[in-house]
Structure 1
Protein backbone atom coordinates (compact mmCIF):
# COMPACT_ATOMS: atom_id res chain seq x y z
CA UNK A 1 0.00 0.00 0.00
CA UNK A 2 2.84 2.43 0.76
CA UNK A 3 4.51 1.88 -2.61
CA UNK A 4 1.21 2.37 -4.46
CA UNK A 5 0.49 5.61 -2.61
CA UNK A 6 4.02 6.87 -3.28
CA UNK A 7 3.66 6.11 -7.00
CA UNK A 8 0.30 7.90 -7.02
CA UNK A 9 1.66 11.08 -5.40
CA UNK A 10 4.70 11.09 -7.70
CA UNK A 11 2.26 11.01 -10.64
CA UNK A 12 3.35 7.59 -11.86
CA UNK A 13 0.82 6.21 -14.34
CA UNK A 14 -1.33 3.64 -12.56
CA UNK A 15 -3.95 1.27 -13.87
CA UNK A 16 -7.16 0.32 -12.18
CA UNK A 17 -8.41 -3.07 -13.30
CA UNK A 18 -12.10 -3.97 -13.11
CA UNK A 19 -13.19 -7.49 -12.25
CA UNK A 20 -15.71 -9.42 -14.30
CA UNK A 21 -18.13 -9.02 -11.38
CA UNK A 22 -17.69 -5.23 -11.41
CA UNK A 23 -18.31 -5.13 -15.16
CA UNK A 24 -21.40 -7.33 -14.80
CA UNK A 25 -22.80 -4.88 -12.23
CA UNK A 26 -21.83 -1.84 -14.30
CA UNK A 27 -21.42 -2.61 -18.04
CA UNK A 28 -20.08 0.93 -18.64
CA UNK A 29 -16.81 -0.25 -17.06
CA UNK A 30 -16.16 -2.63 -19.97
CA UNK A 31 -13.06 -1.49 -21.85
CA UNK A 32 -12.26 1.20 -19.26
CA UNK A 33 -9.12 -0.65 -18.10
CA UNK A 34 -7.89 -0.68 -21.71
CA UNK A 35 -8.53 3.05 -22.06
CA UNK A 36 -6.85 3.71 -18.72
CA UNK A 37 -3.80 1.68 -19.73
CA UNK A 38 -3.53 3.55 -23.01
CA UNK A 39 -3.79 6.86 -21.14
CA UNK A 40 -1.13 5.74 -18.64
CA UNK A 41 1.19 4.60 -21.43
CA UNK A 42 0.70 7.90 -23.27
CA UNK A 43 2.12 9.68 -20.20
CA UNK A 44 5.34 7.72 -20.67
CA UNK A 45 5.97 8.71 -24.27
CA UNK A 46 9.01 10.94 -24.81
CA UNK A 47 10.31 10.24 -21.29
CA UNK A 48 12.76 7.63 -20.06
CA UNK A 49 10.69 5.03 -18.24
CA UNK A 50 10.57 1.59 -16.76
CA UNK A 51 7.30 -0.24 -17.14
CA UNK A 52 6.56 -2.94 -14.56
CA UNK A 53 4.33 -5.68 -15.84
CA UNK A 54 3.63 -8.77 -13.75
CA UNK A 55 2.52 -11.39 -16.24
CA UNK A 56 1.09 -13.68 -13.59
CA UNK A 57 -1.29 -10.93 -12.54
CA UNK A 58 -1.09 -11.82 -8.85
CA UNK A 59 1.23 -13.24 -6.21
CA UNK A 60 2.02 -16.94 -6.34
CA UNK A 61 0.47 -19.11 -3.67
CA UNK A 62 0.11 -22.90 -3.68
CA UNK A 63 -3.69 -22.46 -3.54
CA UNK A 64 -3.71 -20.22 -6.65
CA UNK A 65 -1.30 -22.60 -8.40
CA UNK A 66 -3.60 -25.55 -7.73
CA UNK A 67 -6.75 -23.65 -8.66
CA UNK A 68 -5.22 -22.62 -12.02
CA UNK A 69 -3.89 -26.12 -12.63
CA UNK A 70 -0.72 -24.39 -13.83
CA UNK A 71 1.60 -26.57 -15.89
CA UNK A 72 4.57 -24.76 -14.36
CA UNK A 73 6.29 -25.91 -11.20
CA UNK A 74 7.05 -22.50 -9.71
CA UNK A 75 4.84 -20.08 -11.65
CA UNK A 76 1.23 -19.24 -12.26
CA UNK A 77 0.01 -19.10 -15.84
CA UNK A 78 1.18 -15.92 -17.58
CA UNK A 79 -1.19 -13.36 -19.06
CA UNK A 80 -0.04 -11.74 -22.28
CA UNK A 81 -2.75 -9.09 -22.62
CA UNK A 82 -1.14 -6.41 -20.46
CA UNK A 83 2.20 -6.78 -22.19
CA UNK A 84 0.51 -6.68 -25.60
CA UNK A 85 -1.34 -3.55 -24.56
CA UNK A 86 1.93 -1.85 -23.51
CA UNK A 87 3.62 -2.83 -26.79
CA UNK A 88 0.60 -1.55 -28.71
CA UNK A 89 0.42 1.76 -26.85
CA UNK A 90 4.15 2.47 -26.62
CA UNK A 91 5.35 0.92 -29.87
CA UNK A 92 8.99 1.64 -30.61
CA UNK A 93 9.44 3.20 -27.15
CA UNK A 94 9.66 -0.36 -25.76
CA UNK A 95 13.08 -1.59 -26.81
CA UNK A 96 13.09 -4.85 -24.87
CA UNK A 97 12.23 -6.56 -21.64
CA UNK A 98 14.25 -7.04 -18.47
CA UNK A 99 13.05 -10.33 -17.06
CA UNK A 100 13.85 -10.37 -13.35
CA UNK A 101 13.60 -13.64 -11.47
CA UNK A 102 13.95 -13.72 -7.68
CA UNK A 103 14.02 -16.93 -5.64
CA UNK A 104 13.90 -17.33 -1.88
CA UNK A 105 15.37 -20.74 -1.02
CA UNK A 106 14.28 -20.48 2.61
CA UNK A 107 10.65 -19.70 1.78
CA UNK A 108 8.82 -16.62 0.57
CA UNK A 109 9.35 -13.80 3.05
CA UNK A 110 6.66 -11.54 4.43
CA UNK A 111 6.77 -7.75 4.03
CA UNK A 112 7.81 -7.62 7.67
CA UNK A 113 10.80 -9.87 6.88
CA UNK A 114 11.81 -7.52 4.08
CA UNK A 115 11.66 -4.41 6.27
CA UNK A 116 13.42 -6.07 9.21
CA UNK A 117 16.24 -7.49 7.06
CA UNK A 118 15.36 -11.07 7.98
CA UNK A 119 16.14 -12.47 4.54
CA UNK A 120 19.41 -14.37 4.72
CA UNK A 121 19.55 -15.86 1.22
CA UNK A 122 18.02 -15.05 -2.14
CA UNK A 123 18.87 -15.54 -5.77
CA UNK A 124 18.40 -12.98 -8.53
CA UNK A 125 18.65 -13.49 -12.27
CA UNK A 126 18.21 -10.63 -14.73
CA UNK A 127 17.95 -11.21 -18.46
CA UNK A 128 17.33 -8.93 -21.39
CA UNK A 129 14.74 -10.28 -23.81
CA UNK A 130 14.30 -8.89 -27.30
CA UNK A 131 10.75 -8.59 -28.51
CA UNK A 132 10.53 -10.36 -31.88
CA UNK A 133 10.33 -7.59 -34.48
CA UNK A 134 7.49 -9.11 -36.53
CA UNK A 135 5.43 -9.77 -33.42
CA UNK A 136 6.08 -6.27 -32.08
CA UNK A 137 4.97 -4.66 -35.34
CA UNK A 138 1.86 -6.86 -35.54
CA UNK A 139 0.87 -5.97 -31.95
CA UNK A 140 1.61 -2.26 -32.50
CA UNK A 141 -0.76 -2.38 -35.48
CA UNK A 142 -3.57 -3.63 -33.24
CA UNK A 143 -3.24 -7.28 -34.21
CA UNK A 144 -3.49 -8.60 -30.66
CA UNK A 145 -7.10 -7.43 -30.35
CA UNK A 146 -8.13 -8.08 -33.95
CA UNK A 147 -6.19 -11.09 -35.21
CA UNK A 148 -6.33 -14.51 -33.56
CA UNK A 149 -3.07 -15.53 -35.25
CA UNK A 150 -1.22 -12.56 -33.72
CA UNK A 151 -2.76 -13.31 -30.32
CA UNK A 152 -1.65 -16.95 -30.65
CA UNK A 153 1.91 -15.87 -31.56
CA UNK A 154 2.00 -13.56 -28.55
CA UNK A 155 0.84 -16.32 -26.20
CA UNK A 156 3.32 -18.78 -27.74
CA UNK A 157 6.19 -16.32 -27.23
CA UNK A 158 5.19 -15.59 -23.61
CA UNK A 159 4.72 -19.32 -22.89
CA UNK A 160 8.25 -19.99 -24.20
CA UNK A 161 9.66 -17.30 -21.88
CA UNK A 162 7.68 -18.78 -18.99
CA UNK A 163 8.92 -22.34 -19.59
CA UNK A 164 12.51 -21.09 -19.57
CA UNK A 165 11.84 -19.04 -16.44
CA UNK A 166 10.34 -22.04 -14.62
CA UNK A 167 13.38 -24.17 -15.53
CA UNK A 168 15.69 -21.36 -14.38
CA UNK A 169 13.94 -21.18 -11.00
CA UNK A 170 14.38 -24.94 -10.54
CA UNK A 171 18.10 -24.61 -11.30
CA UNK A 172 18.53 -21.56 -9.06
CA UNK A 173 16.89 -23.34 -6.12
CA UNK A 174 19.01 -26.45 -6.76
CA UNK A 175 22.17 -24.31 -6.69
CA UNK A 176 21.35 -23.34 -3.10
CA UNK A 177 21.16 -27.01 -2.10
CA UNK A 178 24.48 -27.91 -3.77
Structure 2
Protein backbone atom coordinates (compact mmCIF):
# COMPACT_ATOMS: atom_id res chain seq x y z
CA UNK A 1 0.00 0.00 0.00
CA UNK A 2 2.79 2.42 0.93
CA UNK A 3 4.58 1.60 -2.33
CA UNK A 4 1.37 2.01 -4.34
CA UNK A 5 0.90 5.53 -2.94
CA UNK A 6 4.52 6.64 -2.74
CA UNK A 7 5.57 5.75 -6.30
CA UNK A 8 3.02 8.13 -7.93
CA UNK A 9 4.09 10.85 -5.45
CA UNK A 10 7.76 10.35 -6.37
CA UNK A 11 6.92 10.47 -10.10
CA UNK A 12 4.94 13.67 -9.50
CA UNK A 13 7.92 15.04 -7.57
CA UNK A 14 10.16 14.45 -10.58
CA UNK A 15 7.67 16.32 -12.77
CA UNK A 16 7.65 19.17 -10.23
CA UNK A 17 11.45 19.19 -10.26
CA UNK A 18 11.73 19.28 -14.05
CA UNK A 19 8.91 21.80 -14.64
CA UNK A 20 9.25 24.56 -12.04
CA UNK A 21 6.10 26.38 -13.15
CA UNK A 22 3.41 27.57 -10.69
CA UNK A 23 0.47 25.83 -12.50
CA UNK A 24 2.44 22.56 -12.59
CA UNK A 25 3.38 22.86 -8.92
CA UNK A 26 -0.24 23.52 -7.92
CA UNK A 27 -1.45 20.51 -9.91
CA UNK A 28 1.30 18.32 -8.43
CA UNK A 29 0.43 19.44 -4.89
CA UNK A 30 -3.25 18.64 -5.40
CA UNK A 31 -2.43 15.21 -6.80
CA UNK A 32 0.09 14.41 -4.04
CA UNK A 33 -2.37 15.45 -1.32
CA UNK A 34 -4.94 13.10 -2.83
CA UNK A 35 -2.42 10.24 -2.86
CA UNK A 36 -1.52 10.93 0.76
CA UNK A 37 -5.21 10.84 1.66
CA UNK A 38 -5.44 7.43 -0.06
CA UNK A 39 -2.44 6.32 2.01
CA UNK A 40 -4.19 7.47 5.21
CA UNK A 41 -7.34 5.57 4.23
CA UNK A 42 -5.24 2.46 3.61
CA UNK A 43 -3.59 2.79 7.03
CA UNK A 44 -7.01 3.17 8.65
CA UNK A 45 -8.19 -0.03 6.93
CA UNK A 46 -5.10 -1.93 8.11
CA UNK A 47 -5.52 -0.77 11.71
CA UNK A 48 -9.17 -1.82 11.54
CA UNK A 49 -7.99 -5.38 10.90
CA UNK A 50 -6.63 -5.53 14.46
CA UNK A 51 -9.64 -6.70 16.53
CA UNK A 52 -7.89 -5.88 19.82
CA UNK A 53 -7.17 -2.21 19.06
CA UNK A 54 -9.25 0.35 20.96
CA UNK A 55 -9.20 4.10 20.31
CA UNK A 56 -9.74 6.47 23.23
CA UNK A 57 -10.09 9.92 21.63
CA UNK A 58 -11.38 13.22 23.00
CA UNK A 59 -11.47 16.69 21.44
CA UNK A 60 -12.34 16.25 17.74
CA UNK A 61 -15.43 18.45 17.97
CA UNK A 62 -15.42 21.69 16.00
CA UNK A 63 -12.64 20.79 13.55
CA UNK A 64 -13.02 21.86 9.92
CA UNK A 65 -11.14 20.94 6.72
CA UNK A 66 -11.48 24.55 5.51
CA UNK A 67 -9.44 25.98 8.39
CA UNK A 68 -5.72 26.48 8.96
CA UNK A 69 -4.22 24.70 11.99
CA UNK A 70 -0.91 24.53 13.78
CA UNK A 71 -0.76 21.09 15.41
CA UNK A 72 1.81 20.46 18.14
CA UNK A 73 2.30 17.03 19.63
CA UNK A 74 4.56 14.94 21.83
CA UNK A 75 6.63 12.35 19.97
CA UNK A 76 6.80 8.84 21.38
CA UNK A 77 7.21 6.61 18.34
CA UNK A 78 7.03 6.31 14.55
CA UNK A 79 3.49 5.15 15.29
CA UNK A 80 2.62 8.78 16.07
CA UNK A 81 2.71 9.71 12.37
CA UNK A 82 0.31 6.88 11.51
CA UNK A 83 -2.04 7.83 14.36
CA UNK A 84 -2.17 11.51 13.39
CA UNK A 85 -2.71 10.72 9.70
CA UNK A 86 -5.49 8.20 10.37
CA UNK A 87 -7.24 10.13 13.14
CA UNK A 88 -7.39 13.55 11.47
CA UNK A 89 -7.76 12.57 7.79
CA UNK A 90 -11.46 13.51 7.67
CA UNK A 91 -11.40 16.38 10.14
CA UNK A 92 -8.66 18.83 9.11
CA UNK A 93 -6.56 19.63 6.02
CA UNK A 94 -3.85 17.11 5.13
CA UNK A 95 -1.01 17.12 7.66
CA UNK A 96 2.28 18.77 6.68
CA UNK A 97 4.98 17.56 9.05
CA UNK A 98 8.01 19.63 9.98
CA UNK A 99 10.96 17.44 8.97
CA UNK A 100 14.66 17.54 9.69
CA UNK A 101 16.68 18.89 6.76
CA UNK A 102 18.69 15.65 6.60
CA UNK A 103 15.61 13.76 5.38
CA UNK A 104 15.60 15.85 2.19
CA UNK A 105 18.65 13.91 0.98
CA UNK A 106 17.32 10.42 1.70
CA UNK A 107 16.71 8.72 -1.68
CA UNK A 108 13.03 8.65 -2.70
CA UNK A 109 11.77 9.70 0.76
CA UNK A 110 13.21 13.20 0.45
CA UNK A 111 11.74 13.72 -3.01
CA UNK A 112 8.32 12.41 -1.93
CA UNK A 113 8.24 14.71 1.11
CA UNK A 114 9.30 17.66 -1.05
CA UNK A 115 6.54 16.88 -3.57
CA UNK A 116 4.08 16.84 -0.65
CA UNK A 117 5.29 20.34 0.38
CA UNK A 118 6.54 19.13 3.75
CA UNK A 119 8.51 21.96 5.41
CA UNK A 120 12.14 21.04 6.11
CA UNK A 121 13.92 22.53 9.13
CA UNK A 122 17.67 22.92 9.44
CA UNK A 123 18.77 23.08 13.05
CA UNK A 124 22.26 24.15 14.17
CA UNK A 125 23.74 23.14 17.49
CA UNK A 126 24.86 25.80 19.95
CA UNK A 127 28.51 24.75 19.53
CA UNK A 128 28.21 25.04 15.73
CA UNK A 129 26.74 28.55 16.00
CA UNK A 130 29.57 29.61 18.29
CA UNK A 131 32.05 28.53 15.61
CA UNK A 132 29.92 29.91 12.76
CA UNK A 133 28.02 32.98 14.04
CA UNK A 134 27.13 33.95 10.46
CA UNK A 135 24.74 30.98 10.35
CA UNK A 136 22.68 32.30 13.26
CA UNK A 137 19.08 32.77 12.18
CA UNK A 138 19.43 30.70 8.99
CA UNK A 139 17.33 27.86 10.41
CA UNK A 140 14.60 30.36 11.23
CA UNK A 141 14.72 31.78 7.71
CA UNK A 142 14.30 28.26 6.33
CA UNK A 143 11.18 27.86 8.47
CA UNK A 144 9.86 31.19 7.21
CA UNK A 145 10.25 30.20 3.55
CA UNK A 146 8.66 26.81 4.19
CA UNK A 147 5.59 28.36 5.80
CA UNK A 148 5.01 31.08 3.20
CA UNK A 149 3.74 28.54 0.64
CA UNK A 150 0.82 27.57 2.88
CA UNK A 151 -0.93 30.95 2.70
CA UNK A 152 -3.04 30.02 -0.34
CA UNK A 153 -4.79 26.82 0.76
CA UNK A 154 -6.07 25.53 4.14
CA UNK A 155 -3.22 23.62 5.75
CA UNK A 156 -2.34 21.75 8.92
CA UNK A 157 1.29 22.23 9.94
CA UNK A 158 2.43 19.52 12.36
CA UNK A 159 5.40 20.00 14.64
CA UNK A 160 6.73 17.37 17.05
CA UNK A 161 8.01 20.05 19.38
CA UNK A 162 10.53 17.84 21.18
CA UNK A 163 12.45 17.47 17.91
CA UNK A 164 13.09 13.77 18.50
CA UNK A 165 11.32 10.63 19.63
CA UNK A 166 11.18 10.15 23.39
CA UNK A 167 13.43 7.59 25.05
CA UNK A 168 14.55 7.33 28.66
CA UNK A 169 18.16 7.78 27.55
CA UNK A 170 17.34 11.00 25.70
CA UNK A 171 15.35 12.19 28.69
CA UNK A 172 18.37 11.73 30.94
CA UNK A 173 20.82 13.25 28.46
CA UNK A 174 18.64 16.33 27.98
CA UNK A 175 18.06 16.61 31.75
CA UNK A 176 14.38 16.86 31.02
CA UNK A 177 12.26 18.13 33.93
CA UNK A 178 9.40 15.93 32.68
CA UNK A 179 8.72 12.25 33.34
CA UNK A 180 7.26 11.41 29.93
CA UNK A 181 8.57 14.14 27.61
CA UNK A 182 11.72 15.72 26.27
CA UNK A 183 12.15 19.50 26.66
CA UNK A 184 10.20 21.35 23.94
CA UNK A 185 12.01 23.32 21.22
CA UNK A 186 10.24 26.61 20.69
CA UNK A 187 11.86 28.17 17.61
CA UNK A 188 9.97 26.19 14.94
CA UNK A 189 6.44 26.89 16.13
CA UNK A 190 7.36 30.47 17.10
CA UNK A 191 8.43 31.09 13.49
CA UNK A 192 5.37 29.35 12.07
CA UNK A 193 3.17 31.58 14.22
CA UNK A 194 5.14 34.66 13.21
CA UNK A 195 4.79 33.93 9.49
CA UNK A 196 1.25 32.51 9.45
CA UNK A 197 -0.09 33.65 12.81
CA UNK A 198 -3.03 35.58 11.41
CA UNK A 199 -3.75 32.73 9.00
CA UNK A 200 -4.08 30.02 11.63
CA UNK A 201 -7.62 29.62 12.90
CA UNK A 202 -6.63 27.49 15.89
CA UNK A 203 -3.74 25.67 17.48
CA UNK A 204 -4.25 21.97 18.24
CA UNK A 205 -2.34 20.72 21.27
CA UNK A 206 -2.37 16.93 20.81
CA UNK A 207 -1.26 14.43 23.44
CA UNK A 208 -0.55 10.83 22.40
CA UNK A 209 -0.20 7.89 24.75
CA UNK A 210 0.04 4.11 24.31
CA UNK A 211 -0.59 3.03 27.91
CA UNK A 212 -0.58 -0.72 27.20
CA UNK A 213 2.24 -0.65 24.62
CA UNK A 214 4.49 2.04 26.03
CA UNK A 215 7.81 0.39 25.19
CA UNK A 216 7.42 -0.56 21.51
CA UNK A 217 4.21 0.94 20.07
CA UNK A 218 5.36 0.97 16.43
CA UNK A 219 6.50 -2.65 16.29
CA UNK A 220 3.37 -3.64 18.21
CA UNK A 221 1.31 -1.76 15.64
CA UNK A 222 3.01 -3.63 12.78
CA UNK A 223 2.56 -7.01 14.46
CA UNK A 224 -1.08 -6.46 15.49
CA UNK A 225 -0.24 -6.32 19.21
CA UNK A 226 -1.21 -2.68 19.73
CA UNK A 227 -4.25 -2.66 22.03
CA UNK A 228 -4.98 0.95 22.99
CA UNK A 229 -4.32 4.39 21.51
CA UNK A 230 -5.17 7.37 23.70
CA UNK A 231 -5.43 10.80 22.06
CA UNK A 232 -6.40 14.08 23.71
CA UNK A 233 -6.92 17.11 21.47
CA UNK A 234 -7.01 20.54 23.10
CA UNK A 235 -8.01 23.37 20.75
CA UNK A 236 -6.25 26.63 21.68
CA UNK A 237 -6.74 30.16 20.37
CA UNK A 238 -3.82 31.68 18.47
CA UNK A 239 -3.43 34.59 20.86
CA UNK A 240 -1.84 37.83 19.72
CA UNK A 241 0.76 37.50 22.48
CA UNK A 242 2.20 34.44 20.67
CA UNK A 243 3.16 36.54 17.63
CA UNK A 244 6.60 38.10 17.82
CA UNK A 245 10.24 38.10 16.77
CA UNK A 246 11.63 34.99 18.48
CA UNK A 247 15.15 35.58 17.16
CA UNK A 248 15.74 39.24 18.05
CA UNK A 249 13.26 40.01 20.83
CA UNK A 250 14.63 38.49 24.06
CA UNK A 251 11.57 39.41 26.13
CA UNK A 252 9.25 37.74 23.63
CA UNK A 253 11.54 34.69 23.49
CA UNK A 254 11.40 34.28 27.28
CA UNK A 255 7.63 34.77 27.29
CA UNK A 256 7.12 32.23 24.50
CA UNK A 257 9.37 29.63 26.14
CA UNK A 258 7.54 30.07 29.45
CA UNK A 259 4.19 29.58 27.69
CA UNK A 260 5.42 26.44 25.92
CA UNK A 261 7.06 24.98 29.03
CA UNK A 262 3.80 25.46 30.96
CA UNK A 263 1.92 23.70 28.16
CA UNK A 264 4.44 20.86 28.27
CA UNK A 265 4.20 20.54 32.03
CA UNK A 266 0.42 20.15 31.75
CA UNK A 267 0.92 17.56 29.00
CA UNK A 268 3.33 15.59 31.19
CA UNK A 269 0.80 15.54 34.04
CA UNK A 270 -1.93 14.42 31.61
CA UNK A 271 0.19 11.51 30.31
CA UNK A 272 1.04 10.46 33.86
CA UNK A 273 -2.66 10.48 34.77
CA UNK A 274 -3.57 8.48 31.66
CA UNK A 275 -0.99 5.84 32.53
CA UNK A 276 -2.17 5.70 36.13
CA UNK A 277 -5.83 5.34 35.16
CA UNK A 278 -4.92 2.53 32.76
CA UNK A 279 -3.07 0.68 35.54
CA UNK A 280 -6.01 1.11 37.90
CA UNK A 281 -8.40 -0.15 35.23
CA UNK A 282 -6.17 -3.19 34.75
CA UNK A 283 -6.51 -4.06 38.42
Aligned match of 2:275: 173
Aligned match of 2:222: 115
- Given candidates 43, 47, 58, the residue that maps to 2:164 is 58
Larger radius of gyration: 2
Q: Conserved in 2, the CA contact under 8 Å of 1:109 and 1:119?
A: no
- Given candidates 153, 158, 163, the residue that maps to 2:255 is 153
Q: What are the Cα deviations for residues 54-74 of structure 1, in whole angstroms up to 9, with x where unaligned?
A: 111111111111112111111
CA–CA distance in 2 between the matches of 1:86 and 1:175?
35
CA–CA distance in 1 between the matches of 2:194 and 2:236?
17
- Correspondence 1:48 to 2:170: no
How far 1:22 moved relative to its partner? 6.2
Indicate the structure with greater strand content: 2
Judged with a 3 Å threshold, the aligned counterparts in structure 2 of structure 1 residues 23 and 71 are, in CA distance, closer, same or farther, namely closer
Aligned match of 1:96: 202
TM-score after normalising by structure 1? 0.83
CA–CA distance in 1 between the matches of 2:181 and 2:137?
28
How far 1:42 moved relative to its partner? 0.6
Higher relative contact order (CA 8 A, sep 6+): 2
5+ long unaligned stretches in structure 1: none
CA–CA distance in 2 between the matches of 1:25 and 1:151?
23
TM-score after normalising by structure 2? 0.54
5+ long unaligned stretches in structure 2: 1-102
SS at match of 2:233: strand
